[in-house]
Structure 1
Amino acid sequence: MTWNFMCLILSLFLSQFVHSLNNNTTDSLDTCLQDFAFRTLIRHRPHTGNLYNAMLPANLSGMSVSIVRLRSRRLWNRGANFCNFHIPSRTIPVPHVKRLALVYHDFGNWSSHYYTVPGYSMITPVIGFKVFDASNMMSRSVKKLSLNTMGKPIVIRFSNSTLSDGMVSKARCAIFSSNGTLHLGEITLANVCFSQDQGHFSIVVPLKRKRGQWKLWAIGIVLGIGGFILIGYVVIASVKVLKAKKIQVMEKQADEDLVLDTIWVGRSKMPSATVTRTQPTLEDGGLP
């Protein structure tokens, strides 16, 4: 009961601060989802090979978790084909256990909140699975297992994908491993990914670049340069006009301050200034 309450609080916290998630927080969420799945098995007293859907808190609506318990011998003989995942026959759990549980995740509309691929857009929800030791269902600590498929691929089919045949060459299979690393693999078949082990998966395509954006930048640069040139021309012209007006004012003021007489020289009237000479003075101070 206490662990369920802690998982509920954690899920509420994640729903509010989902954009700041790191790998450790995602692992904590996986642990809570695993706990919900195992409690579903205990509540149903399950039959081996039957798939059961776990009940999740209301704030995780849109996400689904399922669980199935298998014998290792059945996995070796027949493989496993549940929730769009096909694990091939001749697969063994590592380390070997008598019974194992496969927990399937479908993040639905929460996919883009918990997982991102830089430069790509997800066109399918993130789905995945993890493998656990189910030998003792009442144990408080559940051991994680790996799978050895003997070189055969695990097939992941995306039934609700919108990927067309013409987009296969550009699309990539995003593989989110349990250690937090991201791998982008090529897609050879539409809506199908391949893997060698457990993890989470999605089909992604490159983000579309807005066409014509470079034209807008070019137009903006040209207009900016033209604007600077126009402003510079206006400033230079204004300076020249002000300078010319200042010179005119100075000339007018000079003309007003200097009043000259006029005389006739021949048939022309010309300005004439009165000549004033300094009177000579003798050494004894008298006039000549």
Structure 2
Amino acid sequence: MDQHKWWQVTWLFISIIMFLSSLVQTLQTYDHDSLEDFFCKQVNKCIKNPKTGIFYNTSLPSNYTGMKVRAVRMRTSSFYIRGLNYSLLNVPPRVVPQPNRKRMVILYENFGNWSSHYFNVPTNYTMVAPVFGFVAYTSSKNAFIENEKMNLVTQGKPILIHFHHVRLHGKNDTPICVKFLENGRLKFNNMSKPYVCEAFGTGHYTLVIPSSLYNKSLFDIWWVLGFVIGFVGLVLLVLVLVTLVKASKKRKIKKLEKNSENGEAFDTFWIGETKMPLGSMVRTQPVLIENDS
């Protein structure tokens, strides 16, 4: 087998194994609690001398591309009187932050295409929106975000979370709001308005629909994936067979050449790309025998 072609086949096979391995890894769930701690440290690291009422975007490392984190610091008294309006979040007035502190920070988290890595929904549901989270922390002059989390206690009116960029077009695709609780538990809520979750505290939220609505599209995806894998496997098999046949022919030719070197020397000639032994054309000279009779 030609060494260069052998390495090509081997590298293609390794690449397929690596792709399948990465596909399996995407199904794993990561720890979002440790990620939350990282967000807080990153905010404190990136934002220096923050001002009250200003929204700050936080830079994240390249391996977190797709996530978005913003933070805003407020006085708790102002938050209680006015509430808070943000593009995704609407907090009505008279929401009580606990424990009682002079300043607070609300951290906005959009997990984007990483949502399914950090949060799981039951197999009979499909996530149709990125996970959005908002968490309240105490704040002080010494630290933009302190380690102490705060609860937001609503008094009648709920906090509204708007999923503006999510629109489903099927007639039976009414989404359901989901809140992710501790220990992997979920809380399902119907929505009074389309694509708007009603929340009564901080946390992480998304929209889901029953998986049966996506069964056909998922089947199509797996069918295409299976076809591609099967086609690549067939190509690999053909390449392996061709290289094995060529290697077998080369071994036979080398054996013939070795035998010819150990015995009578033969000339050689070529047929296509194959080198063959050639016998001498000199014939034994005839001998005349005289008859005495």
Q: Is the 8 A contact 1:18 1:114 kept in 2?
A: no
The offset of 1:141, in angstroms, is 5.2
| Partner of residue 98, structure 2 | 94
Whole-angstrom distance in 1 between the partners of 2:78 and 2:145: 26
SS at structure 1 position matched to 2:78? helix
Q: Which runs of 5+ in 1 are unaligned?
A: 1-15, 212-288
Whole-angstrom distance in 2 between the partners of 1:48 and 1:138: 13
| Partner of residue 251, structure 1 | none
| Partner of residue 132, structure 2 | 127
Q: Which has the higher contact order (CA 8 A, sep 6+)?
A: 2
Percent pairwise identity: 34
Of the candidates 133, 137, 145, which is equivalent to residue 150 of structure 2?
145
Whole-angstrom distance in 2 between the partners of 1:100 and 1:180: 27
- Say whether residues 1:21 and 2:29 are aligned partners: yes
The offset of 1:180, in angstroms, is 4.1
Residues 163 and 47 from structure 1, CA distance in 2 versus in 1: closer, same or farther, beyond 3 angstroms?
A: same
The offset of 1:166, in angstroms, is 4.3
Q: Name the count of aligned residue pairs.
A: 191
Give the structure-1-normalised TM-score.
0.61
- Report matched runs for 1:249-264 at 5 Å: none
Residues 95 and 140 from structure 1, CA distance in 2 versus in 1: closer, same or farther, beyond 3 angstroms?
A: closer
Residues 39 and 92 from structure 1, CA distance in 2 versus in 1: closer, same or farther, beyond 3 angstroms?
A: farther
- Say whether residues 1:38 and 2:27 are aligned partners: no
The offset of 1:117, in angstroms, is 1.1
| Partner of residue 6, structure 1 | none
- Report matched runs for 1:1-288 at 5 Å: 19-21=27-29, 25-41=31-47, 43=48, 45-118=49-122, 119-138=124-143, 142-164=147-169, 166-167=171-172, 170-177=174-181, 180-208=184-212, 210=215
Larger radius of gyration: 1
The offset of 1:163, in angstroms, is 3.2
Whole-angstrom distance in 2 between the partners of 1:95 and 1:37: 22
Whole-angstrom distance in 2 between the partners of 1:135 and 1:92: 18
Q: Is the 8 A contact 1:178 1:199 kept in 2?
A: no
Amino acid in the other structure paired with 2:101: V
Residues 166 and 75 from structure 1, CA distance in 2 versus in 1: closer, same or farther, beyond 3 angstroms?
A: farther
Whole-angstrom distance in 2 between the partners of 1:125 and 1:140: 25
Please give the root-mean-square deviation of Cα atoms over the aligned residues, in Å.
2.4
Q: Which runs of 5+ in 2 are unaligned?
A: 1-23, 217-293
Q: Is the 8 A contact 1:68 1:101 kept in 2?
A: yes
Residues 92 and 101 from structure 1, CA distance in 2 versus in 1: closer, same or farther, beyond 3 angstroms?
A: same
Q: Is the 8 A contact 2:46 2:58 kept in 1?
A: yes
Give the structure-2-normalised TM-score.
0.60
SS at structure 2 position matched to 1:36? helix
Amino acid in the other structure paired with 1:21: T
Per-residue displacement from partner, 1:139-170 (whole Å, max 9, x unpaired)?
Answer: 895211101121320000001111359446x4
Whole-angstrom distance in 2 between the partners of 1:195 and 1:55: 28
